[in-house]
């Protein structure tokens, strides 16, 4: 038996296997007009083809909970019903091929209002076409990006409400998993890390203050998300800025991540998607499975299962991660861009049966 291809049940949802598609921004939504932020043919082809390829869970790219929460003006969003309706067709197609559809809800904070990566990924100042004023815990810029404004408590309350409203729309669109994006230097991560959060009010300062926004978002989403559907949180386990342990370190660290997940145990979170980095320009020692040790800590030191992501490319590698208990599932990103049918190839190499089964049209292969 292959651990990688065993089903997994979280709440009322059974994932047919442990090979999942990580959220990956496509920067391909309309920038203006009635369909701003809505998925279209590209997204349908991109997402549904991975369901046909056999992944157990397809998570959409970061979908903004407000227009100001987009990374770029070409990002997906789910801040209005037109966007939710466009997602609904894609979700039904994913489910028709036996995979589970999930959505990542996000707010980019100070890393918002940029051009697409292939256009330079540069900051678009407010007042320029497709640019807007960005918001963050503190008026500190990310690198050479535009300086954000510090969020007021009223702004924060509005952001929490935006996440809850986006979760409600996600439910109407048919998604069965919601993931809150608290990683990669986007807004919630900016609040978590002392490197970007210099506030002195209830949303800054000590560990309790810096984690407050995420806990409020989780509670607001869990309140509208059905009890039989799972809720995930993606975290960056470390900023890669220093090795200081303890809860009051000058940046975000693996020790703080474990402490955060221990808090989330009582807030209805069902799985932690463990990534790293993104909140500062830092040297990251990238290599095969380089983030797996962080997932292992969450898996072993808390009661919430973890999923591992980051340069997981080989079937035996993925199998060992799950079989040895380093993570409950693996999330593949770029490898699924290169090979949408990776799960089916992996099952053959591991001698495993795979669910979802091969579509009749492809059975001859």
CATH number at residue 60: 3.20.20.70
pLDDT at 8 over 90: yes
50 CB-side CA count, 13 A: 31
At 84 the pLDDT is 98
Query: Residue 117: phi, psi to the nearest 5?
Result: -55, -40
At 244 the pLDDT is 80
Distances (CA, A) of 293 to 158, 288, 301: 36, 11, 12
Calpha distance 352→329 (Å, rounded): 16
Name the band, by pLDDT with cuts 50, 70 and 90, for residue 206: very high
Calpha distance 256→225 (Å, rounded): 27
Calpha distance 62→59 (Å, rounded): 9
At 357 the pLDDT is 87
Calpha distance 365→351 (Å, rounded): 16
> Does the reported pTM lie above 0.95?
yes
pLDDT at 147 over 90: yes
pLDDT at 363 over 90: no
Q: Give me the domain span that covers residue 284.
A: 3-362
341 tagged catalytic: no
Name the band, by pLDDT with cuts 50, 70 and 90, for residue 125: very high
Query: Residue 150: phi, psi to the nearest 5?
Result: -75, 130
Encoding tokens for residue 269? 């979170």
pLDDT at 171 over 90: yes
**How many structural domains is the chain composed of?**
1
What integer best gives the mean pLDDT of the chain?
97
Q: Which is catalytic among the residues 186, 203, 341, 362?
A: 186
Name the band, by pLDDT with cuts 50, 70 and 90, for residue 320: very high
At 242 the pLDDT is 80
Q: Which of 63, 68, 77 is nearest to 34 (CA)?
A: 77
Burial of 181 (0-12, 13-18, 19+ CB in 10 A): buried
Across the range 261-288, mean pLDDT stands at: 96
């Amino acid at each position: 038996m292959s651990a990688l291809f065993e089903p997994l049940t979280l709440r009322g949802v059974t994932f047919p296997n442990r090979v999942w598609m990580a959220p990956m921004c496509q920067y391909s939504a309309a920038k203006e007009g009635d369909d701003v932020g809505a998925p279209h043919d590209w997204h349908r082809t991109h997402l549904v083809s991975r369901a046909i390829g056999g992944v157990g869970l397809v998570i959409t790219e970061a979908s903004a909970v407000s227009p100001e929460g987009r990374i770029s003006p070409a990002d997906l969003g789910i801040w209005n019903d037109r966007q939710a309706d466009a997602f609904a067709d894609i979700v039904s197609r994913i489910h028709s091929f036996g995979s589970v559809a999930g959505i990542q809800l996000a707010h980019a904070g100070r890393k918002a209002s940029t051009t697409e990566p292939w256009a330079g990924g540069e900051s678009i100042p407010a007042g320029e076409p497709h640019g807007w004023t960005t918001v963050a815990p503190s008026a500190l810029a990310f690198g050479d990006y535009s300086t954000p404004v510090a969020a007021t408590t009223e702004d924060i309350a509005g952001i929490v409400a935006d996440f809850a409203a986006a979760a409600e729309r996600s439910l109407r669109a048919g998604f069965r998993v919601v993931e809150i994006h608290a990683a990669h230097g986007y807004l919630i991560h900016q609040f978590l890390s002392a490197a970007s959060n210099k506030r002195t009010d209830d949303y800054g300062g000590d560990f309790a203050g810096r984690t407050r926004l995420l806990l409020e978002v989780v509670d607001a989403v869990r309140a509208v998300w059905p009890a039989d559907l799972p809720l995930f949180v993606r975290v960056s386990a470390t900023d890669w800025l220093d090795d200081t342990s303890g809860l009051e370190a000058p940046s975000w660290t693996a020790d703080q991540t474990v402490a955060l997940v221990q808090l989330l145990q009582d807030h209805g979170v069902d799985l932690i998607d463990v990534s790293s980095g993104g909140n500062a320009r830092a040297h990251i020692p990238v290599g095969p499975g380089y983030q797996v040790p962080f997932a292992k800590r969450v898996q072993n030191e808390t009661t919430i299962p973890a999923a591992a992501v980051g340069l997981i490319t080989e079937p035996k590698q993925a199998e060992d991660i799950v079989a040895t208990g380093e993570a409950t599932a693996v999330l593949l990103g770029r490898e699924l861009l290169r090979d949408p049918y990776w799960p089916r190839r992996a099952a053959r190499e591991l001698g495993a049966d795979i669910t979802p089964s091969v579509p009749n049209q492809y059975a001859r292969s």
